[in-house]
């Protein structure tokens, strides 16, 4: 059985999970190497997962002719250039979200992939989550009629340390968190967002503002065909990792998401207790595995990716419009340029 030779760029929290999944849970993949700006970290991950090679840079890893595809899991700032470099080296690419932090960089990355005749998939793993996938099938089957309202909540449990903001290596909340909801907003409504109006706050952590970020945001959506939506993002919910989405249609509604780590409520003399999900890697563990399996099988079968660079560009366009709305305190049209 032919296996796809893969290299992983960036082995922090997210990249390390991708490496583990590729190494242990994707039979069609051969994880040949990992690379990280911290060569010591790359060596450690390679040793832990028994990966053949580790590198201190993408350029060094791209010289390995056995690598056919690269999974990019660096900080956001470096995604677009890594895509360009990998494409130029003749590799297919799975890039974590966001594709870039500007529309110009995203378009440059997409053009580089096309010029090289390679394929690019963007890491919107929620589309692979069993609950979201099942909901989408029922929407497409017409069970709720015509979608009218999109509502989504995304809350991280723990506040990022201020040191996480200081290097400005990642995009603001709309790019790192809400981008998943922006993708769902397009996908589940089968429509494009035309206008957004963002409301934000740093009231409980004002020091975040000097890094161009916010603690929480609410984005209202107006769709091209008349539907509406609302997305809430919050960086420090404390009680757990909380992701929920509802699509309200002309005949009914579909609700995806739960606070529960397990489907149980514990009743004691102190009252009811539910075990909340602690982390995104727990809530979407199955989705991350399904995502890389599909990517590997897609590359081996020479098919186009399910989630393309254009999907990444269009979700990014909504994030850019939301950031502009935040800065200008008024509705902003979504544009691809």
Return the closest-CA partner of residue 180 out of 199, 157, 153.
Answer: 153
Q: Is residue 62 reached through a cis peptide bond, with omega within 30 degrees of 0 on the bond before it? A: no
H or E segment and range at residue 308:
none
* Residue 51 three-state SS: coil
Could you report the per-residue pLDDT of 109-158, keeping only the tens digit for each? 999 999 999 999 999 999 999 989 999 999 999 999 999 999 999 999 88
Residue pLDDT, tens place only, 40-97: 999 999 999 999 999 999 999 999 999 999 999 999 999 999 999 999 999 999 999 9
Q: What pLDDT sits at residue 337? A: 87
Give the whole-number percent of the chain exceeding pLDDT 90: 84
Query: Is 266's pLDDT higher than 60?
Result: no
Contact between 9 and 15 under an 8 Å Cβ cutoff? The reply is yes
Rounded to the nearest integer, the mean pLDDT of the chain is 93
Say if residue 84 is exposed, middle or buried (CB neighbours under 10 Å; 0-12, 13-18, 19+): buried
Q: Considering the entire predicted model, what is its pTM?
A: 0.93
Q: Is the pLDDT of residue 279 over 60?
A: no
Element spanning 306, H or E: none
Task: Give the domains, in start order, of the chain with CATH numbers.
Answer: 4-126+286-306 (3.40.50.720), 128-283+315-333 (3.30.360.10)
What pLDDT does residue 206 have? 96
What average pLDDT does range 260-264 have in this prediction? 44
Report which of 336, 306, 326, 61 is spatially closest to residue 171, judged by C-alpha positions. Answer: 326
d(CA 184, CA 318): 12
Q: Name residues whose C-beta falls within 8 Å of residue 150's C-beta, 6 or more positions apart in sequence.
A: 184, 185, 188, 189, 221, 227, 228, 229, 230, 231, 245, 246, 247, 248
3-class secondary structure per residue, 254-290: EEECCCECCCCCEEECCEEECCECCCHHHHCHHHHHH
Helices 130-140 & 178-189, crossing angle to 10 degrees?
30
The confidence score (pLDDT) of residue 89 equals 98
From the CB of residue 103, how many other CB atoms can be counted at a distance below 10 Å? 17
- Residue 85 backbone phi and psi in degrees, to 5: -65, -45
| Band of residue 277 on the pLDDT scale cut at 50, 70, 90 | low
Q: 151 phi and psi, to 5 degrees?
A: -130, 135
CA 135 to chain centroid, in Å, comes to: 19
- Cα(163)–Cα(80) distance, integer angstroms: 23
- Residue 94: the pLDDT is 98
Identify the weakest region by mean pLDDT among 2-6, 150-154, 163-167.
163-167
Q: Give the pLDDT score at 158.
A: 87
**Residue % of the chain over a pLDDT of 70:** 93
Contact 34, 57 (CB under 8 A): no
């Amino acid at each position: 059985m032919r296996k796809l030779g893969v290299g992983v760029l960036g082995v922090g929290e997210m990249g390390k999970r991708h490496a583990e999944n590729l190494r242990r849970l994707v039979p069609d993949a051969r994880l040949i190497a990992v690379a990280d700006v911290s060569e010591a970290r790359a060596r450690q991950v390679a040793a832990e997962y028994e990966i053949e090679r580790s590198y201190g840079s993408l350029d060094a890893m791209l010289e390995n002719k056995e690598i056919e595809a690269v999974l990019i899991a660096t900080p956001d700032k470096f995604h677009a250039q890594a895509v360009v470099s990998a494409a130029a080296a003749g590799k297919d690419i799975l890039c974590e979200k966001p594709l870039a932090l500007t529309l110009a960089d995203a378009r440059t990355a997409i053009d580089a992939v096309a010029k090289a005749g390679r394929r690019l998939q963007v890491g919107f793993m929620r589309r692979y989550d069993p609950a979201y996938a099942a909901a989408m099938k029922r929407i497409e089957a017409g069970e709720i009629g015509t979608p009218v309202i999109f509502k989504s909540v995304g809350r991280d449990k723990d506040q990022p340390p201020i040191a996480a903001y200081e290097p400005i290596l990642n995009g603001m909340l709309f790019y790192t968190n809400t981008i998943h909801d922006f993708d769902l907003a397009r996908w589940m409504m089968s429509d494009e967002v035309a206008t957004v109006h963002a409301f934000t706050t740093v009231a409980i952590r004002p020091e975040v503002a000097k890094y161009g970020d916010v603690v929480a945001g609410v984005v209202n959506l107006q769709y091209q065909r008349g539907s509406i939506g609302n997305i809430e993002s919050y960086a420090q919910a404390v009680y757990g990792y909380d992701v929920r989405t509802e699509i309200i249609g002309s005949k009914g509604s579909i609700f995806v998401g739960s606070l529960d780590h397990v489907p149980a409520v514990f009743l004691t003399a102190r009252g009811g207790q539910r075990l909340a999900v602690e982390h995104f890697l727990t809530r979407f563990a199955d989705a991350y595995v399904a995502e890389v399996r599909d990517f590997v099988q897609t590359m081996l079968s020479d098919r186009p990716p399910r989630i393309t660079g254009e999907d990444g560009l269009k979700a990014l366009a909504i994030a850019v419009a939301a950031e502009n709305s935040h800065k200008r305190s008024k509705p902003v049209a979504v544009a691809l340029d």
